[in-house]
């Protein structure tokens, strides 16, 4: 009953927000009650964390489509068609992956979930194993081998360098972050999900990363070298469907569709794990609520010169699956998009820069500084080593040439991918403020001739 009353109040607030009090009334403002109502629905117990390909995620997609329709936003895929189904085939494990290493009569056995997490393990892998303390080696020293990188600290760039040099797999100590999300990594599918009807995206790395607990690393260290064999037997593929939800407001200029803006977020999260709901209030109900609020505001205004699309993508948490599919089956010409702004995790204020947002890949284009010059509370990415520019749906579009960047607040809060990412741990007042700071810049972008561009030499 509470949620129904709040929803009714939100509709009333939205109507009031869209109704000018005089011909000279101030422009539309953010409807805090609308943002709250959308957050309460998306991060509710009923939607159980909106896990990829679940009925809960589908219910969230239908809610988003209904919200776009109420905001007078047109469906992008045809009459009454806001939803784009995406068929997925995900490999399953017949049994947990195991790694066996032998050196003479000595033997080490590691099991997925108990001793290690192997990310996207192949069905079989067999190669000599060597132990290294340094990544400054010649390619021939590691090519075709399983490398135990016995670093004193977690060194992801070092792991990536060894894989680039040709190592088939790199075993390294589990970091604090790996330990924090051990269960999540352990239950990930043993291979990459096939997106039916979309080309397979090239892997960002050529080999396999294996993270091992301290006891396992000690055993491998004592072994020194040997013959390694990984087995990850497969079960029958798991079939699922996710949905992209896209609406559009066509602009009034004759060439409006050829200079369109795309506002996006992902609406899925981790779902239910071991009986615990991961609500995903900040990640990314907050971004979804922002896009829906822009849809409400822009749907109630006079049409702008440029067309604007509102895209909410499914299954981002499992590898930007919805975003990959929509690039193969877009409702618009990808080359006609002037920019994409992805909203990701804007619900928690960053203590390093209170009251403001950040733009991933700030230095790569002229978009962020231009938006800031027009009033956006936005600045550079304060966490460049985390590679956030590459870790959200925007990157799929950036690879196609679109100036596509992600707007975030605090991207590394204590609630990240934790059961505590719930409504009690987001700041709705902060969300309302920073969404409001983007309204005038977005309005300006939709009515201007400004063409965002990658800075020289920075196009992905």
In sequence order, what E strands does 300-395 have? Answer: 308-313, 337-343, 357-359, 378-380
Give CA–CA dist 311/320, Å, rounded.
13
Q: Nearest to residue 146, comparing CAs of 232, 230, 231?
A: 230
For residue 239, what is the enclosing H or E element? strand 238-249
Q: Looking at the predicted structure, is the pLDDT value of residue 16 above 80? A: no
Asked if 48 and 56 count as a contact pair (C-beta separation under 8 A), the reply is yes
Q: Which two tokens stand for residue 309?
A: 């699309």
Q: Each residue of 45-100: pLDDT tens digit?
A: 999 999 999 999 999 999 999 999 999 999 999 999 999 999 999 999 999 999 99
Report the C-alpha dihedral over residues 193, 197, 201, 207, rounded to 10 degrees: 40
Domain boundary assignment for the chain: 2-89+239-447, 98-231
Q: Which residue has the higher pLDDT, 2 or 168?
A: 168
Q: Each residue of 348-377: pLDDT tens digit?
A: 999 999 999 999 999 999 999 999 999 999
Instruction: Return the CATH number of the domain spanning residue range 98-231.
Output: 3.50.30.30
Residues with Cβ < 8 Å from 345, sequence gap 6 or more? 282, 283, 284, 286, 287, 408, 409, 410, 411, 413, 416
Question: 228: how many CB neighbours lie within 10 A of its CB?
Answer: 27
Phi, then psi, of 439 in degrees rounded to 5: -65, -50
* pTM of the predicted structure, to 2 decimals: 0.84
pLDDT band at 203 (very low <50, low <70, confident <90, very high): low
Q: Which residue has the tokens 């749906």?
A: 393
Residues with Cβ < 8 Å from 103, sequence gap 6 or more? 223, 224, 225, 226, 227
pLDDT band at 29 (very low <50, low <70, confident <90, very high): confident
Give CA–CA dist 303/30, Å, rounded.
18
Q: Looking at the predicted structure, is the pLDDT value of residue 14 above 50? A: no
Mean pLDDT of 233-251: 97
Instruction: Name the CATH code of domain 2-89+239-447 (choices 3.40.630.10, 2.70.70.10, 3.30.70.260, 3.40.50.970).
Output: 3.40.630.10
pLDDT in the model for residue 3: 44
As a whole number, the mean pLDDT across the chain is: 91
pLDDT in the model for residue 28: 55
Phi, then psi, of 51 in degrees rounded to 5: -60, 145
Q: Nearest to residue 423, comparing CAs of 283, 245, 298?
A: 283
Give the pairing type, strands 260-266 and 337-343: parallel
pLDDT in the model for residue 146: 96
Helix (H, G, I), strand (E, B), or coil: what is residue 330? coil
Q: Looking at the predicted structure, is the pLDDT value of residue 308 above 80? A: yes
Q: Which two tokens stand for residue 377?
A: 């509370």
CA of 289: how far to CAs of 6, 31, 91, 239, 421, in Å?
15, 11, 32, 29, 15
- For the chain, what is the radius of gyration of the CA atoms? 24
pLDDT in the model for residue 177: 83
Q: Nearest to residue 34, comparing CAs of 443, 345, 436?
A: 436
């Amino acid at each position: 009953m509470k949620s129904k009353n709040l929803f009714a109040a939100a509709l009333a607030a939205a109507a009031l927000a869209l109704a000018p009090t005089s011909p000279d009334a101030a422009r539309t403002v953010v409807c805090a009650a609308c943002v709250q109502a959308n957050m309460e629905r998306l991060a509710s117990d009923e939607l159980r964390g909106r896990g990829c390909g679940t009925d809960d995620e589908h219910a969230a997609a239908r809610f988003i489509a209904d919200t776009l329709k109420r905001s007078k936003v047109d469906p992008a895929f045809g009459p009454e068609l806001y939803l784009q189904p995406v068929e997925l085939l995900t490999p399953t494990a017949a049994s947990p992956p195991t790694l066996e290493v032998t050196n003479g009569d000595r033997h080490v056995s590691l099991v997925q979930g108990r001793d290690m997490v192997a990310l996207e393990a192949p069905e079989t892998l067999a190669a000599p194993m060597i132990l290294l303390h340094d990544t400054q080696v010649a390619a021939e020293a590691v090519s075709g081998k399983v490398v135990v990188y016995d670093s004193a600290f977690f060194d992801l760039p070092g792991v990536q360098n060894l894989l680039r040099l040709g190592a088939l797999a790199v075993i390294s100590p589990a970091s604090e972050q790996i330990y924090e999300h051990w269960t999540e990594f352990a239950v990930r599918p043993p291979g990459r999900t096939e997106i039916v009807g979309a080309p397979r995206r090239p892997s960002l790395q050529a080999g396999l990363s294996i993270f091992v607990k301290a006891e396992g690393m000690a055993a491998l260290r004592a072994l020194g070298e040997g013959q390694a064999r990984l087995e990850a037997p497969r079960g029958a593929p798991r079939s699922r469907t996710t949905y992209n939800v896209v609406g559009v407001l066509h602009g009034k200029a004759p060439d409006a569709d050829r200079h369109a803006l795309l506002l996006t977020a992902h609406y899925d999260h981790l779902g239910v794990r071991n009986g615990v709901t991961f609500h995903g209030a900040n990640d990314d109900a907050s971004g979804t609520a922002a896009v829906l609020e822009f849809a409400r505001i822009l749907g109630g205004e006079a049409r702008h010169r440029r067309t604007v699309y509102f895209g909410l993508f499914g299954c981002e948490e499992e590898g930007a699956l919805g975003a990959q599919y929509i690039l193969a089956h877009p409702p618009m010409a990808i080359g006609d998009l002037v920019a994409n702004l992805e909203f990701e995790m804007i619900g928690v204020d960053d203590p390093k820069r209170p009251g403001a947002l950040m733009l991933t890949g700030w230095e790569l284009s002229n978009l962020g500084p231009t938006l800031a010059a027009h009033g956006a509370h936005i600045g550079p990415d304060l966490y460049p080593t985390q590679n956030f520019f590459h870790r959200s749906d925007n990157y799929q579009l950036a690879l196609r040439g679109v100036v596509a960047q992600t707007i975030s607040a605090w991207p590394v809060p204590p609630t990240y991918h934790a059961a505590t990412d719930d409504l009690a741990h987001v700041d709705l007042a902060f969300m309302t403020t920073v969404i409001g700071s983007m309204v005038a810049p977005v309005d300006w972008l939709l009515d201007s001739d400004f063409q965002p561009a990658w800075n020289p030499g920075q196009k992905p």
